[in-house]
Amino acid sequence: MANNKPKTTRIVCISDTHSRYGFTLPAGDILVHAGDFSMSGEQSEIENFITCLKSLTQYRLKVFIAGNHDITLQPAFYEKNWERWHRGRKQNWELIGRLVRDSSLAANYGIIYLEDQQFIDNVTGLKFYGSPYQPEFHNWAFNLPINSIEIKEAWSRIPNDVDVLLTHGPPTNILDENSAGIHVGCAQMLARIMSVRPRLHVFGHIHESYGRLENGSTIFVNASTCNLSYQPVQAPIVIDLELKSNR
């Protein structure tokens, strides 16, 4: 019997789109988004993003995580800080949470939201894991103290056998240099990645370090779509990932 399983899968990587949609998406099998799909997590932004993902029928799967701008997806943080962004117009974070976690999105549209969760694609066998956290950054959402037990514990939850890792922020010294020339990635994350060695690690957060590089067996992608001026001028990065059974 012929083996019809694909030899590679094309993964289109984007991040930090910040409610901007004026860019072209290339063909692919799976779209991944590494967070900051909104400016401040307003309900209208979330609804528009989900509507956009539903329309992308060229992709079999659309896998995404939150970032520090998607503040309504971290309820405890939002309850304490909502007036900073939404003075007089508090958002319904319970409804927003239901919007992104609606089980019909996966069943009907192949849309998968991951928050410290894993997902196994039954077509390719790839295991995805997504986490929105990053080292403390100007008191935004999903911040954890730098070099803390809390952030080390967050990365300890990354499965040992993950293939595609999505985090919002970068590991230290890998596509993490900001406009001041400072490397702002997470050292604890890098230590965990060097132990786990995912096939592909996609992140964003540091817009000015957009790009890709390979280190050992891992492909690292800073997929930030917007530049520092929040203009969506950095093209999606396409990765043709060879499937394990054909390596």
To the nearest whole percent, how much of the chain has pLDDT over 90?
A: 93
Mean predicted confidence (pLDDT) in 55-74: 98
Q: What per-residue string of b and e applies to 176-187 under the rule 16 or more CB within 10 Å gives b?
A: bbeeeeebbbbb
Q: Where are the domains of the chain?
A: 8-246
Q: Above 90 in pLDDT, residue 5?
A: no
pTM of the predicted protein model: 0.95
Q: Above 60 in pLDDT, residue 66?
A: yes
Instruction: Give the SS3 label for residue 238.
Output: strand
DSSP string, 128-143: EEEE--EE--TT-TTE
Q: Above 50 in pLDDT, residue 247?
A: no
Specify whether domain 8-246 bears CATH 3.60.21.10.
yes
Mean predicted confidence (pLDDT) in 119-146: 95
Interhelix angle for 75-86 vs 93-101, to 10°?
120
pLDDT at 6: 62
Q: What is the pLDDT of residues 7-18, one digit of tens each?
A: 899 999 999 999
Please report, for residues 198, 203, 216, the alpha-carbon distance to residue 179 in angstroms, rounded to integers and kept in the order given: 28, 17, 27
DSSP string, 75-121: HHHHHHHHHHHHTT----HHHHHHHHH-HHHHHHH-EEE-SSEEEE-
Confidence of residue 1 (pLDDT cuts 50, 70, 90): very low
Amino acid at site 215: N
Confidence of residue 4 (pLDDT cuts 50, 70, 90): low
How far from each other are the two terminal CA atoms of the chain, in whole angstroms?
20
